[in-house]
């Protein structure tokens, strides 16, 4: 699948969260956690959403093969199904989420350390900065924002807080002390240009760009919507959000130290794949430190 087709698929992914997974049922392959002595490859099944996760994983197929592993990627259109498929052993690992989402999954399902279905991070691979996009405004700051400007932000708790913190960093508004990554519209303390914050689903803020002055959009959705030319500002690489929301490879706790998982993480964090991420996605996807 070429890049444009994959990005189009990613847009459909975001719109189809209520649908069924595109992945067929899989069964975990048992076997030693190392290349077999007869030269056959050890299968490693990894679930992922399309852009950028599956695209990045594809770059690891050949290096994993050289290391003795058959990396099999299962793409999902319904990402809530990926963690359960990892917990039940249908997948050996997954790559689509950040740590707070992973923590929430374990908590919501009653998994605790030591439980068979408990998932942990095997390593952080990349970060998708939240960006401020504008068609008419060349530089997003308080001086250039018109009075009563409309600004679209994601409406889920995690991304709305990040969006408000970005707007604060850009000088457009000020939040109450201590709001941090739990900030909501109710935490706006100063709003000198009386901007209107328009909340919508994270996968829809990019589509609102023609109708608002600024849209705050996740990097993967900006890629899918092909609006990266309108990027005016990103979350800082040293921001609290950048440190918190890196996307990870997740596995069962018992599998974290398997050779196959360690090799996958090592390859995904290699200089070659870091360069691929930088060349392919620009500032919309940033390799983890």
pLDDT value at 17 more than 50: no
Residue 36: the pLDDT is: 61
Domain ranges of the chain: 3-128+245-287, 130-235
Residue 161: the pLDDT is: 94
Give the tens place of pLDDT for each residue, 35-48. 566 679 999 999 99
Question: What's the alpha-carbon Rg for the chain, to the nearest Å?
Answer: 20
Q: Of 202, 101, 183, which Cα lies nearest the Cα of 167?
A: 183
Residue 78: the pLDDT is: 78
Residue 283: the pLDDT is: 87
pLDDT value at 29 more than 60: no
pTM: 0.79
Give the tens place of pLDDT for each residue, 91-113. 999 999 999 999 999 999 999 99
Asked if the domains at 3-128+245-287 and 130-235 fall in one CATH topology, the answer is yes
* Fold type of domain 130-235: D-Maltodextrin-Binding Protein; domain 2 (3.40.190)
Tokens of residue 32, six digits: 């030693």
Task: Report residue 118 CA to chain centroid gap.
Answer: 20
Give the tens place of pLDDT for each residue, 184-195. 999 999 999 999
pLDDT value at 116 more than 60: yes
Q: How far is CA 273 from CA 82, 129, 247, 261, 287, in A?
A: 23, 18, 15, 16, 9
Residue 81: the pLDDT is: 95
Token pair 């923590």 in the structure block, residue: 103
Among 12-21, 51-60, 62-71, the range scoring the smallest mean pLDDT is 12-21
Task: Report which DSSP code applies to 51.
Answer: I
Mean per-residue pLDDT for 59-86? 96
Tokens of residue 45, six digits: 């099944």
pLDDT above 70: percentage of residues in the chain: 87
Give the tens place of pLDDT for each residue, 165-179. 999 999 999 999 999
86, 93 contact by CB (below 8 A) = yes
Task: Report residue 225 CA to chain centroid gap.
Answer: 15
Higher pLDDT, 23 or 42: 42
Mean per-residue pLDDT for 230-259? 94
Pick the CATH number of 3-128+245-287 from 3.40.50.1950, 3.40.190.10, 3.40.640.10, 3.30.420.40: 3.40.190.10
Tokens of residue 278, six digits: 């930088």
211, 205 contact by CB (below 8 A) = no
Give the tens place of pLDDT for each residue, 198-215. 999 998 999 999 999 999
Beta 214-218 vs 231-234: how paired, if at all?
A: unpaired
Mean per-residue pLDDT for 12-23? 35
Could you give the CA distance from residue 107 to residue 20 in angstroms, rounded to a whole number? 23
pLDDT value at 1 more than 60: no
Residue 12: the pLDDT is: 37
Mean per-residue pLDDT for 43-61? 96
């Amino acid at each position: 699948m070429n890049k444009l087709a994959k990005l189009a698929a990613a847009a459909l992914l975001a719109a189809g969260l209520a649908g069924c997974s595109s992945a067929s049922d899989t069964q975990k392959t048992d076997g030693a956690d190392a290349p077999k002595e007869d030269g056959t490859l050890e299968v490693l099944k990894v679930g992922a959403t399309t852009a950028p996760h599956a695209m990045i994983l594809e770059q690891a197929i050949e290096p994993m093969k050289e290391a003795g592993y058959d990396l099999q990627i299962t793409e999902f259109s319904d990402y809530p199904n990926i963690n359960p498929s990892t917990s039940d052993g249908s997948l050996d690992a997954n790559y689509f989420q950040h740590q707070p989402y992973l923590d929430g999954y374990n908590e919501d399902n009653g998994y605790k350390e030591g439980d068979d279905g408990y998932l942990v991070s095997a390593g952080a691979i990349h970060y998708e900065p939240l960006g401020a996009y504008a068609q008419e405004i060349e530089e997003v700051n308080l001086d250039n924002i018109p009075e009563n400007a409309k600004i679209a932000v994601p409406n889920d708790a995690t991304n709305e807080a990040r969006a408000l913190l970005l707007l604060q960093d850009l000088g457009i508004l000020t939040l109450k002390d201590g709001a941090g990554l739990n900030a909501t519209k109710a935490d706006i303390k100063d709003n000198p240009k009386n901007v209107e914050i328009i909340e919508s689903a994270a996968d829809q803020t990019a589509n609102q760009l023609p109708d608002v002055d600024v849209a705050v959009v996740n990097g993967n959705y900006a890629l899918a919507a092909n609006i990266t030319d309108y990027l005016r500002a990103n979350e800082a690489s040293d921001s609290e959000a950048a440190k918190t929301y890196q996307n990870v490879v997740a596995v069962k706790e018992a599998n974290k130290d398997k050779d196959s998982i360690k090799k996958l993480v090592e390859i995904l964090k290699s200089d070659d794949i870091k360069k691929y991420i930088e060349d392919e996605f620009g500032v919309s996807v940033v390799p983890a430190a």
